[in-house]
Amino acid sequence: MKKEALLPLVSAGLLAPLFLSTGVAADEVSAEQPAEAVSQVESPVAESVAAPAESLAAQPPVVEVPVEAAVEAAEAPVAPNGVVARAASEEAESALAAQDLVILHTNDVHGRIVEDRNVIGDAKAAAVIKAEKAQQPTLVVDAGDAFQGLPISNSSKGEERLKILNMVGYDAIAVGNHEFDFGLDQLRRYEQLLEFPILSANTYIDGARLFKASTIVDKTPDLEGDEFVVIGVTTPETATKTHPNNVVGVTFTEPIAEVQNVIAEIEAKAKAEGKSYKNYVVLAHLGVDATTPLEWRGDSLAEALSKNESLKDKRIILIDGHSHTVATATYGSNVTYNQTGSYLNNIGKIVLKSDQLLGQTSLISAADLKNTEVDPEIASVVSRIKEAYDADNAVVVRANNTVELKGNRENVRVRETNLGNIVTDALYAYGQTGFQNPSHLAVTNGGGLRETIAKDKDITKGDVIAVLPFGNSISQITVKGQQIQEMFKRSLSAIHQKGADGNPVLDENGLPLLEPSGFFLHVSGARVFFDQTLETAERILKIQILDPETQAYQDLDLEKTYYLATNDFVAAGGDGYDMLGGAREEGPSMDAVFAEFLKTADLSQYAVVNPNSRIVATSSVLDKNANGIPDWQEIANPTEPAKPEEPAKPEKPAKPEEPVKPEKPAKPEQPAKPEKPVKPEQPAKQDQVAQEQQKPATKRVSLGYNPSYQAPAKVPATAKASSAAKSLPNTGTEDASGAAVLGLGFLATLGMVQRKRRKN
C-alpha cells in the first residue's frame, strides 16, 4: 500500500491506548527507511544556517506514524511485517521507542547570565529547557567555555553560573580552553561542584586523564537501547589559548584518535555485556577556524566518524564550539554537525526521529524568544547575582581621574583618541610579560570601545566595564609584516564623511574625516602615517614598529614575524580582519587588564583627546618649510632626512681648533731650561754667557725671576694659539739676552761715576 499521509499524535500517552486497543505493536523501521530519511532531512539542515527556525520552544512533540500501519493494526492481530502481537508492556515499550528524542545544546556562552540585546540569558534559556523537558525526553548539553567571559560571571570565577546550570539540569558539559582561565585548581573545583559530568577524553596530566572521557545518559529508563553515550574532547590549542601558568603539566592528545579510541572501548564493553548503544553525542570544543590545524578541527572529526564502520548503523551527533560559528552540516548518512555561534545568542535544537539516523537541526534565537516568559526561579537567582555584581562595580579603581577619556562613537570609530591609546597601552604593557614572547604592538577595534570615562571623578570597575562591555579577552597572534600592512589598510579603508552640503567633513587640520566604522583600529607600539585624501589602496604612507630597547621607530619589515596583541574578536577575524590568522595565545579579560593598568598609569600623557601621534593623518605632499621633503617624512625619519643639513657637516666634527694645535708652536718653549740662564754678573762676552747658563737658577733672584718656575704642561688642543702665546712665560733664550743688556748698562753707569769722581 502506498504511504500518502502521516498521522500526528500529540504524545506517547495517545499512542499507548491505540496499540492497547488493537493488540498490536508499531512497525519496526524497515531497512529501506534510513536512506529515505536522509533525503528528507538534508534540505532543512542546509536551510537552518541561512534562516533560524521559528521558536520551537512552545511546539508540541510530534510523532509520525504511517496511516496504513495504524489501519492494518486495527484490522489484524499481526503487524504487516509479520511480527506477532506482544503483551501490553511490550506495546507500551514500542510506543516509547517511536517517540522523538530531543537534544538542546549551547556552546561558548562565556558567562552571559543576564538577558541583553541578542542574548537570551540564563533565565529565559531555563524556561525553554524546562518546557522541552516537560514534553519529551530531552538531553541538555554544552560544548564548553561556559563560565569565563563577562565580568558578572568572572567575579565569582564562574561559580555563580555553575549553580544556575545545576538548577536548570544540564546533563553534561565539555571542557573548553577557557575553563582553565581561573587556574587548574578552580577547574578541578568545577568538577566537584557540578551535579553532572564535565568531560574531556584527551586532557591528561602525568599520563592520566584529568577528567572523565564519557558518560551514559538514559532519558527513558524503561526502554533499552536509546541511551545517549556522551563523549567530551578539548582543543589542543588550549596549551596556547589560556595563560601558560594554567596548564603546567597538562597535555592534550590528538582529538580524532582519542575519540575513536573511546568509542571502541565503549563498544567493546557493551558487546561483552550484551548491550547496544544507538546514540552517540560528541561534545567537542574544537571549532572550524581556518587557523586551527585540520587534524584538530570539529568538521574533521565529524568526517572521520562518518567513515567509522562500527558506527554506520548508529546516530552520531557532534556538538561543537570554540570557533564561535553558526553552523550545521551532515556527514555521510549518520553524522550531524552543529554549532550555535556564541554568547547565548542561540540555543541549538536537534530532534531525533525513531526511524531516522540523521537528526533534524534548528536554532532558537533571542528574537524567537522575545515574548517568552523567563523562568521565575532562575530569574530570582540572576537578580541576586546582578545586585551583588552592581555593588562590586562601585569599587574604585582610580581615584580622581584628571583626564576625560573620550569614548563617543564619532571619535573612537574615526581617528586616534586618548581612550583608544590608553586601552591599547594596557594591552601592550600586558603583552610584554603575559605571553611566551613580548608583543611588538597592540591594537583594538574602535567598535569595542563603548563609553567615555569622565574627568574629575573616581574611575570605578563599572566605568571600566562600560568602556569594554563585551567580555573580550586579550589575545596575541603571530603575524608577518605583510599581514600587519593589510590589517591597517582595512582599518583605514572607510569612506569620507559628508556634510549636509555633500562636501567632505574636515578635521582641525583641514583633512577629510573618515566615516565612523567599528573596524577602525587604535594602536600602541607602532605608528601609521596615512593620507585619507588618497584612494583606499594608496592611503598608507608608512608603518613603523617601536623598538623597545632603543625606543626608536623602525620601518615595518613585510617579511619579519611580529607578535600582535589584540582582543579575541579581532584575533579570530572579526570586523573583517580575516587576513590575520596565525598561532594564537590567549590571556585574561580585557577589562581586568585595563583596570590594572589604570591603577598606576600616568594619566597626564592622555590629556589630548585627539593627539594624531600614532594613527597620523597627514598630507603626502605638504612641505611647510619648503626644504623639498614632505613634512610627514621629517616626522617619520627625523635623522634620515638630514640631507639639507649635510653641508653643515664640517661644523659637526667641531674641529676648527684642531688645525691650530697650539701646543705645536709652543715646542720651542718646551726645551727651555730656566735653570740655565746667562749669569748677570758677567754679560760682556758671548762665551761667558754660555758658561753662565750652566749655573744654578738661584743666581737670577736679583733680576726678579721666579725660582719656583716649572716648564708648562701641554696646552689643551682646544686652546687658541694667540691666547697660548700670551699666557706662556718667556723662554730661556729671551732671559739670557735681557741679562746681557742689563749687564752692559751696569758697566756703563759705573764708568760714568768713576769719570765724574776724577773730575771732582
Q: Does the structure show a pLDDT above 90 at 574?
A: no
- CATH classification of the domain holding 160: 3.60.21.10
User: Please, which pLDDT band fits residue 332 given cuts at 50, 70 and 90?
Assistant: very high
Ranking 386-390, 650-654, 696-700 by mean pLDDT, the lowest is: 696-700
pLDDT at 470: 80
Same domain flag for 266 and 325: yes
Pairing of strands 473-480, 561-567: antiparallel
pLDDT tens-digit series, residues 482-491? 999 999 999 9
Same domain, 376 and 401: no
The last residue of a domain, from among 387, 408, 435:
387
Q: Which amino acid is at 741?
A: V
More confident: 653 or 627: 627
* Pair (557, 434) in one structural domain: yes
- Domain end, chosen from 620, 648, 681, is at 620
338 phi, psi to nearest 5 deg: -145, 140
Q: Is residue 655 part of a domain?
A: no
Q: Are residues 681 and 549 in the same domain?
A: no
In this prediction, residues 664-687 reach a mean pLDDT of 46
pLDDT at residue 39 tops 60: no
Alpha carbons 187 and 205: distance in angstroms, whole number: 13
Residue 89 has pLDDT above 80, yes or no: no
Burial class of 621 by CB neighbour count within 10 A (0 to 12, 13 to 18, 19+): exposed
- The average pLDDT across 122-143 equals 97
Question: Looking at the structure, do residues 610 and 672 belong to the same domain, yes or no?
Answer: no
Task: Say if 653 falls within a structural domain.
Answer: no
CA–chain centroid gap for 102, Å, is 37
Specify whether the CB–CB gap between 214 and 281 falls below 8 A.
Answer: no
* 639 in any annotated domain: no
Please count the other Cβ atoms lying within 10 Å of the Cβ belonging to residue 329: 19
Alpha-carbon separation of residue 205 from 176, 197, 251 (angstroms): 16, 18, 6
The pLDDT assigned to 105 comes to 98
371 contact partners, CB below 8 Å, separation of at least 6 = none
**Contact, 412 vs 421, CB < 8 A?**
no
Does residue 659 fall inside a structural domain? no
For the segment 152-166, the average pLDDT, to the nearest whole number, is 94
Residue 373: all three cell numbers together: 516568559
- How confident is the model at residue 15, as a pLDDT? 35
**pLDDT score at 378:** 98
DSSP 194: -
Give the relative orientation of helices 376-393 and 122-135 as an angle to the nearest 10 degrees. Answer: 160
Q: Look at residue 261 and tell me whether its pLDDT is greater than 80.
A: yes
Q: Tell me if 391 sits within 8 A of 437, measured CB to CB.
A: no
- Angle, CA of 391, 396 and 398, to the nearest 5°: 160
Amino acid at 564: L
Q: What is the pLDDT of residue 292?
A: 87
CA 425, CA 446: separation in Å to the nearest integer?
Answer: 14
pLDDT-derived band at 319, boundaries 50, 70, 90 = very high
Domain membership of residue 301 (yes or no) is yes
CA distance 333 to 356: 10
Residues 474 and 504 in one domain: yes
Reference 525, options 575, 558, 563; nearest CA is 563
Lowest mean pLDDT among 146-155, 274-283, 483-492: 146-155
Query: Mean pLDDT, the chain, as a whole number?
Result: 78
- Higher pLDDT, residue 734 or 330: 330
Residue 524: band (very low, low, confident or very high) from pLDDT cuts 50, 70, 90: very high
Question: In sequence order, which residues have a C-beta less than 8 Å from that of residue 22 and are 6 or more positions away?
Answer: 73, 74
* pLDDT attached to residue 97: 53
Average pLDDT over residues 305-314: 95
Q: Is residue 557 part of a domain?
A: yes
Measure the CA–CA gap between 140 and 348, rounded to whole angstroms.
Answer: 10
CA distance linking residue 174 with residue 163, whole number of Å: 17
Higher pLDDT, residue 589 or 717:
589
Q: Is 50 domain-assigned?
A: yes
Do 509 and 361 fall within a single domain?
Answer: no
* Predicted local confidence at residue 78, as pLDDT: 36
Range of the domain at 541: 396-620
The answer on 419 and 383 residing in a single domain is: no
Q: What is the domain count for the chain?
A: 3
pLDDT of res. 90:
52
pLDDT band at 526 (very low <50, low <70, confident <90, very high): very high
Instruction: Quote the pTM value.
Output: 0.58
pLDDT one-digit tens code per residue, 91-128:
544 545 557 899 999 999 999 999 998 999 999 999 99
Do the strands 63-66 and 6-9 form a parallel or antiparallel pair, or are they unpaired? Answer: antiparallel
How does pLDDT run across 201-228, given as a tens digit for each residue? 999 999 999 999 999 999 988 888 789 9
Asked if residue 5 has pLDDT above 90, the reply is no
Average confidence (pLDDT) over 21-36? 31
Average pLDDT over residues 706-721: 34
Q: Within this chain, do residues 252 and 192 fall inside the same structural domain, yes or no?
A: yes
Above 50 in pLDDT, residue 648?
no
**Residues 376 and 411 both lie in one domain:** no
Q: Helix (H) and strand (E) counts for the chain?
A: 21, 28
Quickly tell me which residue has 562600560 as its cell.
466
Minimum mean pLDDT range among 23-32, 475-484, 612-621 = 23-32
CA-to-CA dists, residue 269 to 273, 636, 672, angstroms = 6, 70, 113
> Of 320-334, 593-607, 737-751, which gets the smallest average pLDDT?
737-751
* One domain for residues 598 and 720: no
Core vs surface per residue 639-670: b (16+ CB within 10 A) or e? eebeeeeeeeeeeeeeeeeeebebbeebeebe
346 with 495, same domain: the answer is no
When pLDDT is cut at 50, 70 and 90, the band that residue 41 belongs to is very low
- More reliable by pLDDT, 324 or 572: 324
Given a contact cutoff of 8 angstroms between Cβ atoms, the answer to whether 405 and 453 are in contact is yes
Helices 122-135 and 159-168: crossing angle in degrees, nearest 10, is 20
Q: What is the pLDDT of residue 99?
A: 74
Look at 95 and 299; give whichever has higher pLDDT: 299
Q: Would the CA dihedral through 243, 247, 248, 253 be positive or negative? A: negative
Q: How many CB atoms are located within 10 Å of the residue 170 CB?
A: 24
Which CATH number fits the domain that encloses residue 557? 3.90.780.10
d(CA 661, CA 663): 6
Q: What is the pLDDT of residue 446?
A: 94
Q: Is the pLDDT of residue 494 over 80?
A: yes
Q: Report the alpha-carbon distance of residue 698 to residue 202 in Å, rounded.
A: 103
Report the sign of the C-alpha dihedral through residues 88, 90, 92, 95, in that order. negative
Q: Which amino acid is at 185?
A: D
Distance of CA 158 to the CA centre of its chain: 21
730-749 confidence digits (pLDDT tens): 333 334 344 333 343 444 44
First CA to last CA distance, the chain: 183
* 632 within some domain: no
Listed residues 354, 370, 387: the one ending a domain: 387
Is residue 340 helix, strand or coil? strand
